[in-house]
Structure formats: structure tokens, C-alpha cells
Amino acid sequence: MRPFILFFCFAASLLIACEPTAGEPASPGAVQAIFPKGQKGPAELFTGNAYNYGLVPMDSTYTTLVGNVYFEPGARSNWHTHPAGQILIITDGVGYHQIEGQPRETLRKGDVVQCPPNVKHWHGASEETGLQQLYIVPNTEKGVVNWMEPVTDEVYTAQ
């Protein structure tokens, strides 16, 4: 019985020593990933490092595209539109979303954003913290995305 108690105490001490403090990320800007990082997005479409991992491929049955994007701190998409709109579900981190002509919105874990069809917008991480988001693009038979110019630093930092 004594060896079991010693083993239990040892295992418990390891768990306590290794567990991060609740509510604090492991390192500055870190987010909890629930999907693999994926493929790095091209520099022509993103400022900074953004990674895409496809979850539901485009097909003629569901006509919906679903994936995960991880934006490193400071990373953002170019301006773009979606012919049938887009839904974003923020799974971790802090970031921004902006529809052209409207104020920039701050996004946090649990937020859901509806990007209307053919409306110019961008999204990405905050300066200090990365952002994990699921994207849903419906009605892919209408098209997926129309990429435009990069978001300037002035637009990105404007509040």
C-alpha cells in the first residue's frame, strides 16, 4: 500500500508542477490550438503569418467550406469579399474584424461574426495575442473569396 501512496503523491506533484495557472496563456501571445497549424498563407494575401487547416472540403453535396485559421500576433488578411458571405467563430485569442467604412471590432474567444455577401472586410490577430478562428463559407457554388489589397498599418491600428 505504501508504494501506491508514494506513486500517487509523486504523480500528483508532477501534475501540479506542470499545470499552467488558470486564465494565463503559456507564453505571451499564445493561444490554445484545437486543430493542427496547417499551411502558411501566401504573403500576397496576408500580412504576417497566418496558417490555414481545412476541415470540410468544398463539394457539391454540402456546398460549404469549413476550416481553421491561426493568425500569429500582428497577422491579418488582406481586404476581401465572399460572394455568399462568411461566418467566423473565434475559438481562442484576441483579434480584429472590420467591414469597410465601419469601426474595427475586437474579437475574443466565443465571438461569432457574420460577414455579409460581397461586403469588403478583413480579420486578423491583435498586436500582442494570436487568434484562432473557424471559418464557414456557405453556398460555394457562388464562389469562395475575392482577394483585394493589403490592410495598411494605419487601418490595422486605428481604433
Q: Which helix (H) or strand (E) holds 12?
A: helix 2-18
Joined grid coordinates for residue 117:
455577401
Predicted local distance difference test score (pLDDT) of residue 159: 80
Coil, helix or strand at residue 137: strand
| pLDDT tens by residue, 19-45 | 333 344 455 667 888 899 999 999 999
Domains of the chain: 31-157 (2.60.120.10)
Tell me what pLDDT residue 12 has: 35
Q: Which residues pair with 86 in a beta bridge?
A: 115
pTM of this structure:
0.80
Per-position pLDDT tens, the chain of length 159: 444 333 333 333 333 333 333 344 455 667 888 899 999 999 999 999 999 999 999 999 999 999 999 999 999 999 999 999 999 999 999 999 999 999 999 999 999 999 999 999 999 999 999 999 999 999 999 999 999 999 999 999 998
* Per-residue pLDDT, 24: 43
pLDDT score for 27:
59
What is the per-residue DSSP string for 36-93? ---EEPPTTTEES-EEEEEEE---TTT--EEEEEEEPTT-EEPSEE-TT-EEEEEEEE
Q: How many residues does the chain have?
A: 159
Residue 114, classed as helix, strand or coil, is strand
